[in-house]
């Protein structure tokens, strides 16, 4: 599950959810944590089967024609790392749907997402549409910032981001559509069995709610988690450093991201930046507070990583993930297990030791 702002392997919890998608870093981390040779072959087979299921269901969803179904279809057809042909098809679906539904921001967010990392993909129509539809969302201006090519426009975009009262970005709009689409897919028995073997039998335990953490649910949660990434935050960090009033000018925006972000990644990165700013300002109280916030997020991720390997009450977990996001769902797991949301006194973990934090200016910037 997306989490750390510094470049490092995905967390065990993310592996538990994203393994079935087997895209790039996840596949590499899997190979590092289990028997590499057998897993490499299994991952390739599962990846091919999952893509085939996703492509088939994408066409079914696209035929429905409503904005949520088309957005989900585009993301099923063109997840991260998709072939160019699939991405072009997905973008065509979105463009056609947006002509019929010009005021739907989810289609524009899906368009940005479907562009992926392709520098040749024209993001301007999607960015311009979002600027018109959601000018009060800071994430819109941060997305623009990621594609600005001159200092003047970057400065103006940063000011718009700092003035916007709402952070909640694309994942909030797209998550429900993706989850619902994946849940509707009936995997072939061989594909489901292969995914279950990769995840381990414990991850498929029955839940109190009577539902099961099935392979299809795992795929849904994996792609929903993958909607969170660091796009735009590297550009935001760079723009903040060049702000006329210094990086501290961005503190209000980092606080909005920390409080309104719905993923471990967003909250963890924002808390790290705020702790760094407090350190630079000599604000010992602020530094302690944000280091504690960062440590609590580390703790929540670690505890949830263990819990997800056992019973998961999918009936309760699913709507929280769908409607409130990753953090709310993980905190539900901890609450249900009777675990605190912060590490106990003396806990030795990231953000609580004297070592340089991984989100400091000495570490890699996101991107």
Residues in the chain: 367
Give the pLDDT band (50/70/90) at residue 199. Answer: low
pLDDT of 175 > 80? The answer is: yes
Residue 212 DSSP SS3: strand
Which stretches does DSSP call E strand in 47-180?
Answer: none
Range 202-215 average pLDDT? 45
**Which residue in 60, 102, 58 sits closest to 79, CA to CA?**
58
pLDDT single digits (tens) 82-119: 888 999 999 999 999 999 999 999 999 999 989 877 88
pLDDT at 201: 47
Give the pLDDT band (50/70/90) at residue 14. Answer: very low
Q: Which residues of 68-87 are buried (b: 16+ CB within 10 A; e: fewer)?
A: bbbbbbbbbbbbbebeeebb
pLDDT single digits (tens) 229-238: 667 888 899 9
pLDDT at 324: 86
The percentage of residues in the chain with a pLDDT greater than 70, rounded to a whole number, is 75
The pTM of this model reads 0.79
Sign of the alpha-carbon torsion through 273, 276, 282, 284: positive
With a CB cutoff of 8 Å and minimum separation 6, the contacts of 158 are 141, 145, 236, 239, 240, 243, 250
φ, ψ dihedrals at 146, nearest 5° = -65, -20
Give the pLDDT band (50/70/90) at residue 188. Answer: confident
With a CB cutoff of 8 Å and minimum separation 6, the contacts of 88 are none
pLDDT at 3: 27
Encoded tokens for 189? 């028995």
Per-residue HEC secondary structure of 251-304 comes to HHHHHHHHHHCCCHHHHHHHHHHHHHHHHHHCCHHHHHHHHHHHHHHHHHHHHH
Q: What is the mean pLDDT of the chain?
A: 77
pLDDT at 11: 34
């Amino acid at each position: 599950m997306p989490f750390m702002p510094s470049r490092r392997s995905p967390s065990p919890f993310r592996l538990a959810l994203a393994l079935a998608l087997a895209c790039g870093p996840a596949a590499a981390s899997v190979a590092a944590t289990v028997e590499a040779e057998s897993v490499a072959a299994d991952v390739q087979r599962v990846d091919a089967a999952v893509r085939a299921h996703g492509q088939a269901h994408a066409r079914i969803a696209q035929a429905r024609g409503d904005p949520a179904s088309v957005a989900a279809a585009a993301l099923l057809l063109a997840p991260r790392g998709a072939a160019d042909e699939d991405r072009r098809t997905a973008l065509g679906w979105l463009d056609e749907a947006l002509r019929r539904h010009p005021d739907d921001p989810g289609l524009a967010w899906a368009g940005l997402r479907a562009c992926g990392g392709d520098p040749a993909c024209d993001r301007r129509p999607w960015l311009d549409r979002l600027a018109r539809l959601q000018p009060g969302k800071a994430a819109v201006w941060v997305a623009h910032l990621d594609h600005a090519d001159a200092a003047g426009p970057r400065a103006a975009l940063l000011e718009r981001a700092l003035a916007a009262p709402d952070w909640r970005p694309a994942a909030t709009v797209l998550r429900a559509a993706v989850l619902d689409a994946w849940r509707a897919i009936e995997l072939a028995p061989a594909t489901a069995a292969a995914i279950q073997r990769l995840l381990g039998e414990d991850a498929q335990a029955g839940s109190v709610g009577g539902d099961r953490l099935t392979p299809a649910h795992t795929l849904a949660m994996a792609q929903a988690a993958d909607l969170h990434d660091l796009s735009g935050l590297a550009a935001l960090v760079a723009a903040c450093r060049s702000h006329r009033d210094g990086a501290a000018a961005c503190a209000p925006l980092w606080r909005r991201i920390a409080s309104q972000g719905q993923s471990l990644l967003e909250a963890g990165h924002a808390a790290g930046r705020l702790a760094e700013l407090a350190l630079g300002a000599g604000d010992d109280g602020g530094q302690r507070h944000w280091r504690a916030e960062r440590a609590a997020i580390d703790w929540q991720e670690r505890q949830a990583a263990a819990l997800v390997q056992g019973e998961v009450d999918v009936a309760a977990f699913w709507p929280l993930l769908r409607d409130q996001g990753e953090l709310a769902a993980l905190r539900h797991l901890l609450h249900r297990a009777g675990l605190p949301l912060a590490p106990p006194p003396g806990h030795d973990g990231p953000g609580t030791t004297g070592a340089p934090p991984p989100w400091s200016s000495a570490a890699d910037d996101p991107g």
